[in-house]
Amino acid sequence: MPRKITAYACGFKCGRSCTTKEASIVAHEKNCFKNPKVKACRTCKHWDRDDDDSGETWTFCNVSELLNDVYAIRDCELHELAAEKGNE
């Protein structure tokens, strides 16, 4: 017979898998790229995406070439919170 369990997921809806360990998710959220306090590209208004005729899509930074193709940056000094971009 199945037993009921409690699972936890990231409150920023980043897609990370659920876990039964609440402390694990709490620790994750502090570093989640969708946490605005992390100041990562995914929540920044300067982060953008484009595509070409082949359907290939890429992301880039509108204010710094140095950040192009860099996805894992944190605590960016150029970060400005986007209105809805964190939900993509």
Positions in the binding site for Zn ion (CB under 5 A): 10, 12, 14, 16, 32
**Quick one: tokens of 49?**
């995406």
15 Ramachandran zone, left/alpha/beta (phi>0; psi -120 to 50) = left
CB of residue 35 to Zn ion, shortest distance in Å: 7
CB of residue 49 to Zn ion, shortest distance in Å: 20
CB of residue 33 to Zn ion, shortest distance in Å: 7
Nearer to Zn ion, 10 or 40 (CB): 10
Dump strand ranges (E) for 1-88. 47-51, 57-61
